[in-house]
Amino acid sequence: MKYKLRFEILTRFLMIIQSLLTSILLLCPAFLRRDKKRLKDITSDYYNTMQVVETIAELQKLLVNYKNENQTVGFVPTMGALHQGHLSLVKQAAQSSDVVVVSIFVNPTQFNNAKDLERYPRDLQTDLNALSTVKCDIVFAPDVNEVYPEKDTRTFDFGNLETVMEGKFRPGHFNGVAQVVSRLFEMVRPDKAYFGLKDFQQLAVICAMTKQLQLPVEIMPCEIVREEDGLAMSSRNMLLSDAQRKNAPLIASTLFESCNFVADTSVEGVKNKVIEAINANKELEVEYFEIVDGFTLQPVDKWDESEYIVACIAVFAGEIRLIDNVTYKKRDHEC
């Protein structure tokens, strides 16, 4: 019995040493260097089954093997700076697909503000560390020239979907989104693609684009993931100052509270209450707050105009722009 106890203690001690050595490896400067070949060599060893590729040729060489075995491919396109919201999409992809592909690519064509593009957080190694905690089979991390070997001059027409809210305040944004997502769909050729409902208007545009191009991809809407204080998870949250981060949850709490007004307050009345409540905070300023039909994204004037009503908001915390939404009248989102 005594020897068995000593053996168990020795085993635990060795596991701790192994964990410490792994941590040292992750912090090693050679591991963090921006040397693509070195990154590829190390990640292929460290992440076991998760494979990191940078070119379309490498990606499709891996995928053809899965598809030859009739395995379904689930795809989660991201711009990196991954958080638990992104990881929840990966988990849902793993539940309903055989193979999970995650792309990490900051798409320049969807930024209409050069400063916003410049300050968008980028840390591939941290993203790989995060993805190693969930089932992710392939990480596709291309550079700009790989995605756009030539300038993408395509122009999409999404009608009224792109002229309101985000489309109104970020001209050209959704055309850039459609360009990159369609390119990624062409490269990955997924069976299913997973998108969060936080970017509600973006989801509607991607659904429309998929139909326009007749792409054989099933779009899978996924619920908003929030911080413990209610703030919708976003890569931009890490750019907030301490004061801004402290006050940002007011956006979500005000939206949640506004659900209680619907029964006895007009649409216009609810809009005014929400805008006034958030603008009363010196750290926050509402850019827009719209109450819309969840299918057409067109504003509603009365509660009985639609069976699916969603409230969408964009708020500035200093120079950082945060979006969120809440559903007032529920119906399953359809693509």
Tell me the catalytic residues. Answer: 86
All residues at 6 or more sequence positions from 195 whose CB lies less than 8 Å from its CB, including other chains: 77, 89, 202, 203, 206, 219, 220, 221, 222
Decide if 205 contacts 161 (C-beta within 8 A): yes
Q: Tell me the CA distances in angstroms from 309 to 257, 303, 329, one per residue in order.
A: 16, 8, 5
Phi, psi of 102 (to 5 degrees): -120, 130
Residues 6 or more apart whose CB falls under 8 angstroms from that of 58 comprise none
C-alpha span between 334 and 317 (Å, rounded): 32
CA within 13 Å, CB half, 327: 15
Sheet with 285-293: strands ordered across: 285-293, 309-317, 320-329
CA 74 to chain CA centroid, nearest Å: 15
Integer Rg of the chain from CA: 22
How many Å apart are CA 300 and CA 137, to the nearest integer? 43
